[in-house]
Amino acid sequence: MKTERQNILITGGLGFVGSSLAIRLVHSGARVTILDNLDPNAGGNLHNIFSIQDDVTLLRADIRDFDAVVSAVSGQDLIVNCAATTSHPHSMREPWETLDVNSKGAINVVEACRQSNRNARLIQIGTSTQHGIQTCSPANELHPEFPLDLYSATKSAAEKFFLIYAHAYELPVSVIRFANIYGPRAAIHSPEFTFNNFFVGQALRGGPITVYGDGLQQRNILFIDDATDAIISLARSDEYYGQVFLAGSDKHLSVLEIAEKIAEIFDCPVVSLPWPTERRAIEIGDVALDNTKTKKQLSWTPKIDIKHGLMLTKEYYLAHLHHYLR
């Protein structure tokens, strides 16, 4: 499908990925609707869409409200489900809420489409942490899933719900999993969200950036523009219904290296702290991801290296900081 001049619904569209995708789609000529309830555990921010606020339809609703979801999916050509509580530690403290939003909310989306819009293209946003501790390296889309926290487990379940509906009801569903996305419009105020974006928030406060333990565990981080490129590439393909794609950068860095690169751009120190018990319990160790399938089948490749991405990130937050750190 083409995304230009299409009706597109983004659930969780005030969050980091959803708002960035909305901006890209509006600029391409799409008619974008955002459904979001600004759950503080999801990282949404109204300022994320300030540049397109007159060009989108904003529905302040909860993905757990089935009637609201049914109404929202009606007439849409593409639906991208970005709605989720996204904190790993929060998911362990609030298991029922995490289950309701991430898994039952996902069922609401696909069931609403089954009932009222079976032709809509559906994309579920997943996470590489669904894998848990890697049993082989690098991990691809076929890696076993044994997640260590309830956020990752509920995202895994949500993915399976989407794929079941693709098979059972022939809905045009695809899934794309991401690792640690960074860049403008991320929630940078709390360690509850992605570590690399919190490092940026610490740097913007003057530091220090705090790394747990020795920080030598490997990670894959991807700039937001590369992530939205991958989603759009998948949306424009009608060949891969019922399939899963893994999108990550070509280079892997240790957590400490990532902290040091951020510190270099923002001119602040890095310090090491002991592991908090709750974080150590859900630490997955080294992560190495294989993006071969996504590059080959979607003709996609990550383009923004970490230095350039961090410079763009710094430029954005220096201009909009009071909307993200108060």
DSSP notation for 32-69:
EEEEE---TTTT--GGGGGGGTTTEEEEE--TT-HHHH
Distance between CA 242 and CA 114 in Å, rounded?
15
- Concatenating the DSSP letter of every residue in 159-209 gives HHHHHHHHHHH---EEEEEE-EEESTT---S-TTS-HHHHHHHHHHTT--E
Distance between CA 181 and CA 197 in Å, rounded?
8
Distance between CA 267 and CA 270 in Å, rounded?
10
Q: End-to-end distance of the chain based on CA atoms, in angstroms? A: 41
Average pLDDT over residues 178-196: 95
Distance between CA 100 and CA 61 in Å, rounded?
15
What is the structure's pLDDT at 181? 97
Q: Is 145 within a domain?
A: yes
Task: Provide the residue range defining the domain that includes 176.
Answer: 7-188+221-250+289-306
Q: Per-residue pLDDT for 40 more than 90?
A: no
CATH assignment of the domain containing 69? 3.40.50.720
Q: Per-residue pLDDT for 125 more than 80?
A: yes
Q: Tell me which amino acid residue 279 is.
A: R
Q: Is 267 within a domain?
A: no
Q: Is 174 within a domain?
A: yes
Q: Is 21 in contact with 231 (CB distance < 8 Å)? A: yes
- Quote the tokens at residue 252: 């892997």
| Highest mean predicted confidence (pLDDT) among 41-45, 190-194, 258-262 | 258-262
How many domains would you assign to the chain? Answer: 1
Q: Is 148 within a domain?
A: yes
Average pLDDT over residues 142-167: 97
Q: Is 197 within a domain?
A: no
Q: Is 14 within a domain?
A: yes
Write the pLDDT tens digit of every residue in 297-313. 999 999 999 999 999 99
Q: Is 118 within a domain?
A: yes
Q: Exposure of 53 by Cβ count < 10 A (0-12 exposed, 13-18 middle, 19+ buried)?
A: exposed
Q: Is 81 within a domain?
A: yes
Q: What is the pTM of this model?
A: 0.96
